Amino acid sequence: MPEQRKRIVIVGATSSIAEQCARLWVTDHVADLTLVCRDPVKTERVATDLRVRSPDSTIRIVKTDFTDPAAIRNLVDGIVAVGAVDIALIAHGALSDQAACQPDLTMCQAALMVNGVSPVLFAEAFVGHFEAAHHGTVAIIGSVAGDRGRKSNYVYGAAKGLVTRYAQGLQHRLAHSAVKVVLVKPGPTDTPMTADLKQKGAKLAKVGDVARVIVQAIDRGQPVVYAPPKWAIIMLIIRHLPRFIFNKMNI
């Protein structure tokens, strides 16, 4: 009897972390992947790579507006109408320029929307279907930046803090159901989004290692995963530093 294909939806498939997760999924199994994007041309390059890696997998691309609640609802309803979804990985976002966001409220609003509100809207659209089906995993990529506000990136951190609180509430809501919610908190990772950090000498995790941690956590239905795992200890310390010590730190 042929193996049942996992049906996976990736929102923000051109994210380097999401792309590496997709590669792991199609390498281990024949899969049915839907790549939700804003830029079909860029996403087609990801899809082509995945098709080469797994010719028997089904890879499709769907474009939508990531900031329009009606568009998000229509997209998710349409995807689920075709067949049950096993995993929804919500991975889109952009590292905000803190200094630029401070005087520019439009830029600040956009950063909060793409990194916080938009991922929550996608998750909420999927989870209703999962709850009705008594099946499915929603995985949302947050960030260690959401664990405590810091002067260097508090707009981005606030958006990711929203994702964290949302995921916690969603996990509470679904605690007695078969639906799993996985909150992913990557530390600084070597991707195009962190190119400026790399130029400044920051130590960044390899994107393949981070993706492997994420895929394993999704398989287990792990409620919270730091990637790499060392960030769980680092952020535990940072969260509990007394304010008078924290305020002396240039982070």
Q: Whole domain around residue 30: which residue ranges? A: 6-246
Question: Does a structural domain hold residue 166?
Answer: yes
Per-residue pLDDT, 3? 57
Question: Does a structural domain hold residue 1?
Answer: no
Q: Percent of the chain beyond pLDDT 90?
A: 90
Give pLDDT tens digits for 95-146: 999 999 999 999 999 999 999 999 999 999 999 999 999 999 999 999 999 9
DSSP letter assigned to residue 146: G
Confirm if 33 and 53 have CB atoms less than 8 A apart.
no
Question: Does a structural domain hold residue 93?
Answer: yes
Give pLDDT tens digits for 218-236: 999 999 999 999 999 999 9
Question: Does a structural domain hold residue 32?
Answer: yes
Total-model pTM:
0.94
Within 10 angstroms of residue 230's Cβ, the number of other Cβ atoms is: 11
Number of domains in the chain: 1
Per-residue pLDDT, 227? 95
| φ, ψ (nearest 5 deg) of residue 85 | -105, 135
Average pLDDT of the chain to the nearest whole number: 95
Residue 2 has pLDDT above 70, yes or no: no
pLDDT-based confidence at residue 1 (cuts at 50, 70, 90): very low
Q: Percent of the chain beyond pLDDT 70?
A: 97
What CATH number did the domain enclosing 56 receive? 3.40.50.720
Question: Does a structural domain hold residue 84?
Answer: yes
Question: Does a structural domain hold residue 251?
Answer: no
